[in-house]
Amino acid sequence: MQPDWQARRDFMVDWQIRRRGVKDIALLEAMRRVERHCFTEEAEQDVAYEDHPLPIGHGQTLSQPYIVAYMTEQLGLTSQAKVLEIGTGCGYQTAILAELAQEVFSIEIIEPLSIEAQKRLTGMGYDNIHFKVGDGFFGWPEEAPFDACLIAAACPILPRKLIAQLTSTGRMVLPLGVWEQQLILIQPTQKGFKKKYLFAVRFVPLTGAAQKRFPH
């Protein structure tokens, strides 16, 4: 018998996300719509809506649903927002962003992941996502500025090149650190930027230039 995927998504939203403080109605509805199990490996589909990360190949993971929701809510997205995502991965977080924003510019350093995510998301009908294979540590300067930036891998240092690509009212959320990581929110100010520490997390490291400078 085919699983009732909608019931599983509703349970995920109601018990893992909404009850833990995520309040953005548009975000909660997006997470009810987007079929998370379609972004996982076949062997992981049955646990796609459980409260933990999942492997997606190439040493990468899909974050647990609550973390996806929490990080997205911190961006305060509007339907006119232009978003930069660092780490396309399987494309699930990308889809959530695309449900809420006007445009999403997503960078992935692992080419097979980027290609597969593009095929998957295009097949699902998303036409507001732009894909790039490259080192997300440097962002996408030719498309800047962005209203928001979400980094889905741990940065060993503050990514100042990415902060510089935000609008004056932009917001960035990212895991910062190597062995000990903190999820932080960054907002530009007239004197530079301010950062707010949210809580401890564990993400795979940002690869590319950042990893070469600060090897794990």
CA 118, 74, 101, 210 torsion-angle sign: negative
Domain ranges, ordered by start, for the chain? 52-213
pLDDT score, position 1 = 75
pLDDT score, position 212 = 54
Please state, as a whole number, how many other Cβ atoms lie within 10 Å of the Cβ of residue 152.
Answer: 28
pLDDT score, position 211 = 54
pLDDT tens, per residue, the chain with 216 residues: 789 999 999 999 999 999 999 999 999 999 999 999 999 999 999 999 999 999 999 999 999 999 999 999 999 999 999 999 999 999 999 999 999 999 999 999 999 999 999 999 999 999 999 999 999 999 999 999 999 999 999 999 999 999 999 999 999 999 999 989 999 999 999 989 999 999 999 999 997 655 555 544
Tokens 């960054």: give the residue. 186
State residue 35 phi and psi, 5-degree precision: -85, 90
pLDDT score, position 117 = 98
Cis peptide before 65, with omega less than 30 degrees from 0?
no
Active site residues: 63
Q: Which class would CATH give 52-213?
A: alpha beta
Helix %, strand %, coil % of the chain (to 5): 40, 30, 35
Q: How far apart are CA 90 and CA 100, in angstroms?
A: 18
